[in-house]
Amino acid sequence: MAKPTILTVDDDPGVSRAIARDLRRRYGDRYRVLRAPSGAEALEALREVKLRGEPLAVMIADYRMPTMNGVQFLEAAMDLFPLARRVLLTAYADTGAAIDAINIVDLDHYLLKPWSPPEENLYPVLDALLELWAAAPDLAVGETRIVGHRWSAPSFAVREFLARNLVPYRWVAADEPEGRRLLDAAGLSADDVPLVITADGKTLQAPSEAELAAEVGLSTTPAADFYDVVVIGAGPAGLGAAVYAASEGLRTVLVERSATGGQAGQSSRIENYLGFPDGVSGAQLTDRARRQATRFGAEILSAREVVSLEAAGAGRVLRFSDGTSIGAHTVVLATGVSYRRLEGAGLDEFTGAGVFYGSASFEAANCTGEDVYIVGGANSAGQAAVYFSRYANRVHLLVRGADLARSMSHYLVQQIDGIANIHVHPHTEVAGGEGDRHLQRLTLRDNRTGDVRTTDASWLFVFIGAEPPTGWLDGVVRRDERGFVLTGPDLLSEGARPAGWPLSRDPYHLETSVPGVFAAGDVRAESVKRVASAVGEGAMAVSLVHRYMEAQ
Query: Tens of pLDDT along 11-40?
Result: 999 999 999 999 999 999 999 999 999 999
**Residue 96: pLDDT over 80:** no
Q: What is the pLDDT of residue 52?
A: 67
Q: What is the pLDDT of residue 1?
A: 55
Pair (173, 294) in one structural domain: no
Q: What is the pLDDT of residue 174?
A: 94
* Structure letter (DSSP) for residue 345: B
Residue 220 lies in a domain: no
Taking only the tens place, the pLDDT of each residue in 358-407 is: 866 778 878 989 999 999 999 989 999 999 998 999 999 999 999 999 88
| DSSP code per residue over 23-56 | HHHHHTTTSEEEEESSHHHHHHHHHHHHHTT--E
**Residue 547: pLDDT over 50:** yes
Domain that holds residue 14: 5-135
Taking only the tens place, the pLDDT of each residue in 229-272 is: 999 999 999 999 999 999 999 999 999 998 888 888 778 778 88
Q: What is the pLDDT of residue 29?
A: 93
For 63-73, what is the mean pLDDT?
87
Pair (416, 501) in one structural domain: no
| DSSP code per residue over 487-509 | -GGGG-BTTBPPTT--SSSPPPT
Pair (329, 475) in one structural domain: yes
**Residue 205: pLDDT over 50:** yes
Give dist(CA 237, CA 521) in Å, integer: 5
Q: How confident is the model at residue 139 (pLDDT cuts 50, 70, 90)?
A: very low
Q: How confident is the model at residue 140 (pLDDT cuts 50, 70, 90)?
A: very low
Q: What is the pLDDT of residue 221?
A: 94
**Residue 165: pLDDT over 70:** yes
For residue 261, the domain's CATH number is: 3.50.50.60
Peptide bond into 177 cis (omega under 30): no
Pair (151, 263) in one structural domain: no
3-state secondary structure of 353: coil
Pair (70, 117) in one structural domain: yes
Task: Say which residue, 196 or 278, is predicted with more confidence.
Answer: 196
Determine what percent of the chain falls in helix, strand and coil, rounding each to the nearest 5.
35, 25, 45
Q: What is the pLDDT of residue 95?
A: 61
Mark which of 445, 462, 479 sits at the end of a domain. Answer: 462
Give dist(CA 252, CA 230) in Å, integer: 6
Question: For a pLDDT cut of 70, what percent of the chain falls above it?
Answer: 95
Peptide bond into 154 cis (omega under 30): no
Contact present, 370 and 393 (Cβ < 8 Å): yes
Report the number of secondary-structure helices (H) and strands (E) in the chain.
15, 24
Give dist(CA 129, CA 135) in Å, integer: 10
> Rounded to the nearest 10 degrees, what angle do helices 236-247 and 282-295 cross at?
20
Q: How confident is the model at residue 76 (pLDDT cuts 50, 70, 90)?
A: confident
Cβ count within 10 A of residue 211: 14
Pair (380, 494) in one structural domain: no
For 405-421, what is the mean pLDDT?
94
Pair (170, 250) in one structural domain: no
Q: How confident is the model at residue 2 (pLDDT cuts 50, 70, 90)?
A: confident
Q: What is the pLDDT of residue 137?
A: 41
Angle at CA of residue 438, ends 425 and 76, nearest 5° = 70
| Domain total in the chain | 4
Task: Say which residue, 113 or 517, is predicted with more confidence.
Answer: 517
Contact present, 421 and 395 (Cβ < 8 Å): yes
* Structure letter (DSSP) for residue 84: S
Task: Say which residue, 395 or 343, is predicted with more confidence.
Answer: 395
Contact present, 34 and 45 (Cβ < 8 Å): yes
3-state secondary structure of 307: strand
Q: What is the pLDDT of residue 80?
A: 78
Q: What is the pLDDT of residue 305?
A: 96
Pair (275, 367) in one structural domain: no
Question: For a pLDDT cut of 90, what percent of the chain falls above it?
Answer: 64
Q: How confident is the model at residue 142 (pLDDT cuts 50, 70, 90)?
A: low
Pair (333, 473) in one structural domain: yes
Give dist(CA 228, CA 242) in Å, integer: 11
What is the chain's mean pLDDT, rounded? 90
Q: How confident is the model at residue 408 (pLDDT cuts 50, 70, 90)?
A: very high
Residue 260 lies in a domain: yes
3-state secondary structure of 245: helix
**Residue 297: pLDDT over 90:** yes
Pair (128, 10) in one structural domain: yes
Give the residue from 167, 168, 173, 170 showing the smallest Cα distance to 148: 173
Taking only the tens place, the pLDDT of each residue in 447-495 is: 999 999 999 999 999 999 778 999 999 999 999 999 999 999 999 987 7
Residue 86 lies in a domain: yes
Which uninterrupted H or E stretch holds 214?
Answer: helix 209-215
- Dihedral angle sign, alpha carbons of residues 288, 289, 290, 295: positive
Q: Strand ranges (DSSP E) for 273-361?
A: 299-301, 306-312, 315-320, 325-333, 355-357
**226-232 and 325-333 as β-strands: parallel, antiparallel, unpaired?**
parallel
Give the residue from 217, 258, 251 showing the smallest Cα distance to 234: 258
For 206-213, what is the mean pLDDT?
93
Give the residue from 324, 329, 331 showing the smallest Cα distance to 221: 324
Pair (416, 494) in one structural domain: no
Of 135-149, 199-213, 284-298, 536-550, which range is least confident? 135-149
Contact present, 453 and 441 (Cβ < 8 Å): no
| DSSP code per residue over 439-482 | --EEEEEETTT--EEEEE-S-EEE----B---GGGTTTS-B-TT
**299-301 and 306-312 as β-strands: parallel, antiparallel, unpaired?**
unpaired
For 423-446, what is the mean pLDDT?
96
